[in-house]
Structure 1
């Protein structure tokens, strides 16, 4: 698959020093985060660890969103577990995991190859802002237990935050102290400009060493599972499970792709290149198709891990590649040391990353709130759905809200405007609205501005001038904005109005009609009912068809018609 530049793959470039330190930080984060996500969902924790190796390397090499890190997320882990359980399959069976991961990759690849990423362009900015903010809150609630030793109750993320705050007395002192010290060390390191790119790494190493020196009693990575001193080996899929996982693979892919869709707006490419949703779909597909053969759980663009990489100074795609390579080296060479990473350290730093993600969205949130009450409502509803419902349901709600928002905006934007000819012969939008009725023997020129969507038709029909007593009048309707294949209701409206106007002795002329629409009007019989000259095709010169229609209207009437309605 070639990119817009003609290259079969995205430009790789050269790694920068900041990418090395960023990749190391991100790789270390993948150890406790990946293992914890897998364990929570009932998978082998090592499979979550391996999801940060091959998928991260392959995804970063091929993604069009340069900084996107492809790996396991909590939402993907929970959705995958639900899919396997519903199919009656053991989530700890390596063959079942390999089959699901491979199928998820195939679905992603197909969606990218079919260019279905265009569907996301119809998701409104308001909905995407609510979704991304909700995901950031999910990231925060996912580590509250690691940071304080207290696991908040409730499925609703907002309720969990409230429960966590109310039960501050139940927080474990040691865990909370370690998390607070981690945040303080990070803040101090970040205050020094030279140390800013490696602030996360400094905080992780310094506090982890301090916990070991003072023998602080907090949860460590090894309390979740032991890290094998070996690279992921080949894992053969169990193809007998394919029929049971077809629908589930689509669900997991949808959750993963929707999460990843929020990364490009939040972390634009530092090199100024444009992200490509379909390219990102394919990149995640490659990551899963290959990662599934090497013991990895289903993966997708991770907003939290990408946030860690960016906070650590990532500048190119090499940060994600190095994170996977470094993780593999750590597992192979010093897994026993990695097992000693304190979970409160990871919890404290993820709280920082999640907070930065939400803070970074503040301008988008304020913009949506100031735009319109409908956009604000869509954003708030999507945010609430993302924090209270399973992610796949929240995605569907967001899609429906985007559709409803589009319908409402289309209905409001569709209108007719009066065109007037200036003294120099040029056409311009008139200062007055369309006339309430057509005057006998006069030419009226109106321009249709809309999308021909059925929701706007009542508004358009209400703006059409009354035809009562319009003998000898001509309504010239410019339809440059009308799609090649408009709503059938539009054709019925035009046919009905033309017939009513003809009964009064007037005429409707359509101007600027595109060739495909001309053929459709001919097939429907409307062209014949409009008569000769009733359809004036579009031309390269914008207003040439309109001038021709005016001349024809004057010539068709025995007595001279006055100039178009002033």
Structure 2
């Protein structure tokens, strides 16, 4: 436990805090205001107390932003986290409005995230291909857009997936309500005009929110306000202890919520690189989100994770350091404490219009990545499209599993394609060089053939390698020297089986297989499995510091063996 705590401290101590800028203050204020309608709406949709969604924008962003290596990442409630949490609590048969139950779930989610960060399980995400991550991030951005279509136009389109909802919304323009649509359009227009003024560009989101909100109030436009979701209490979140009795029923579900949250957060760093040039750390982000949930769970917050939409709002408002996220939590707390009544008057179409802008910018920012994947290969393109479709049509936890499986398949296929046997020959000066020609189809009798293995030793590549090995029929006194320096210490059993089978076939024809540049663990494994004995004395030549010294020795001994008549 002490070692685990030490790892957590190490992960969260590497961040650089820097100093807040004026743009960070503005961005924090904008993000804090966005957290009011968004957080309350997500919680309400998922059947939780809307105030718990509101409080998810107070403590979690402060703790998460202070500790996260991804500077601009804002840790708060998202719709996917809220809906996954709803499913977990419903399956456990617990009350989603019970403060102790919510606290238990949030704390457990935080503990899972901390554990995953401390165990450095973020390395798993490095195996997720760029094609899959591009499809996933673009799908999340589309989810952000479809989530506010009802707020922006007063028409929430039907459909069992996001693409169908978007289509129904576009084709169902006759169902759009005039007042909210005009307010949303006016908000986008004000935002666009503000961006044309150089000094206002960093605060365009705030200018659009304030001016359009004031205009709605002055004109008395009949649109939905934040107060339509729930009243904002004029008090800060108080200490809320977890219901320890509920925890055993929520442990398994906490892993699901944590997985969804961390997967969403994984799309933040590629979309929002650190402005200071520092490197992000997936494990550090895991730990930071864990701390955010441990703290938030004790103060009435629903589970939280890195939010692409809220981070996009902060970046769009000019955030430059992690202090934007910290200020967003502090500012939201001040608004709740002293201006909750005014916050209740924020028009939902204003928020909807601005979220449409943020979501559109996120998708637009992915156009270069999409084009790159599209031009790379058909397989990568297919993986991107399938992941995008899964993200927009299936529950997020299922889409994550599909993306992981696709990444694994891409890795296997690419590894198998890259593996090969390369022919080597000595030049007139005695140096080894590749011939540029494929391996011979048949081993020439009475000669030494040198091939070097280049690959990852993945079992999927072996059928390809076996077709590249020269045939052994008629290979009297032929020697194949196979350079194994790049082979892993412990190869797959399928590789060992291939070596055994090929050596037996070559020996039956009066030839010999020699393995050169073998690493010590592999040499010990060959001895233990009896393959070294099968190959014969001197047929396993260990690696040496001089890269090609084992190859020279292998060839010299093979020539001597041929000269001795194959004895």
TM range (shorter): over 0.9
Specify which of 214, 226, 234 is matched with residue 239 of structure 2.
234
State whether residues 22 and 310 of structure 1, in contact with CA within 8 Å, keep that contact through their aligned partners in structure 2: yes
Deviation at 1:4, TM superposition (A): 12
SS of residue matched to 1:556: helix
CA–CA distance in structure 1, aligned partners of residues 543 and 320 of structure 2: 48
Deviation at 1:411, TM superposition (A): 2.1
Matched residue, 1:93:
98
Deviations 1:34-76 (A, max 9, x none): 0010011111101001001111001111111111100000000
Matched residue, 2:523:
518
Deviation at 1:428, TM superposition (A): 2.2
CA–CA distance in structure 2, aligned partners of residues 7 and 93 of structure 1: 32
SS of residue matched to 2:157: coil
Specify which of 221, 224, 243 is matched with residue 226 of structure 2.
221
Matched, 1:174 2:205: no
SS of residue matched to 2:199: helix
State whether residues 482 and 514 of structure 2, in contact with CA within 8 Å, keep that contact through their aligned partners in structure 1: yes
Matched residue, 2:3:
none
Deviations 1:306-341 (A, max 9, x none): 011111111111111111111111111111111111
SS of residue matched to 1:66: coil
Matched residue, 2:426:
421
Matched residue, 1:245:
250
Matched, 1:123 2:128: yes
Matched, 1:483 2:472: no
Matched residue, 1:564:
none
Matched residue, 1:542:
547
CA–CA distance in structure 2, aligned partners of residues 87 and 459 of structure 1: 49
Matched residue, 1:272:
277
Matched residue, 1:165:
170
Matched, 1:134 2:139: yes
Matched, 1:287 2:311: no
CA–CA distance in structure 2, aligned partners of residues 417 and 56 of structure 1: 54
Deviates more, 1:551-560 or 1:206-215: 551-560
Q: Which runs of 5+ in 2 are unaligned?
A: 1-5
Alignment of 1:305-324 (within 5 A): 305-324=310-329
> Structure 1 residues 5, 283: closer, same or farther in 2, change over 3 A?
closer
CA–CA distance in structure 1, aligned partners of residues 12 and 386 of structure 2: 41
CA–CA distance in structure 2, aligned partners of residues 288 and 531 of structure 1: 61
> Structure 1 residues 22, 510: closer, same or farther in 2, change over 3 A?
same
Matched residue, 1:495:
500
SS of residue matched to 1:237: coil
Alignment of 1:25-44 (within 5 A): 25-44=30-49
State whether residues 452 and 482 of structure 2, in contact with CA within 8 Å, keep that contact through their aligned partners in structure 1: yes
Matched residue, 1:297:
302
Matched residue, 1:365:
370
State whether residues 477 and 565 of structure 2, in contact with CA within 8 Å, keep that contact through their aligned partners in structure 1: no
Specify which of 206, 212, 215 is matched with residue 201 of structure 1.
206
> Structure 1 residues 559, 485: closer, same or farther in 2, change over 3 A?
closer
State whether residues 3 and 10 of structure 1, in contact with CA within 8 Å, keep that contact through their aligned partners in structure 2: no
Question: CA RMSD, aligned part only?
Answer: 1.6
State whether residues 73 and 299 of structure 1, in contact with CA within 8 Å, keep that contact through their aligned partners in structure 2: yes
Deviates more, 1:515-524 or 1:174-183: 515-524
CA–CA distance in structure 1, aligned partners of residues 70 and 102 of structure 2: 27
State whether residues 554 and 560 of structure 1, in contact with CA within 8 Å, keep that contact through their aligned partners in structure 2: no
Matched residue, 1:392:
397
Alignment of 1:451-470 (within 5 A): 451-470=456-475
Deviation at 1:6, TM superposition (A): 9.5
Deviation at 1:27, TM superposition (A): 0.7
CA–CA distance in structure 1, aligned partners of residues 51 and 293 of structure 2: 16
Deviation at 1:372, TM superposition (A): 1.1
Q: Which runs of 5+ in 1 are unaligned?
A: 562-566
State whether residues 11 and 118 of structure 2, in contact with CA within 8 Å, keep that contact through their aligned partners in structure 1: no
State whether residues 59 and 292 of structure 2, in contact with CA within 8 Å, keep that contact through their aligned partners in structure 1: yes
Matched residue, 1:347:
352
Deviation at 1:559, TM superposition (A): 5.2
Deviates more, 1:149-158 or 1:417-426: 417-426
SS of residue matched to 2:202: helix
> Structure 1 residues 170, 112: closer, same or farther in 2, change over 3 A?
same
CA–CA distance in structure 2, aligned partners of residues 274 and 523 of structure 1: 44
> Structure 1 residues 286, 544: closer, same or farther in 2, change over 3 A?
same
Matched residue, 1:80:
85
Matched, 1:401 2:406: yes
Matched residue, 1:12:
17
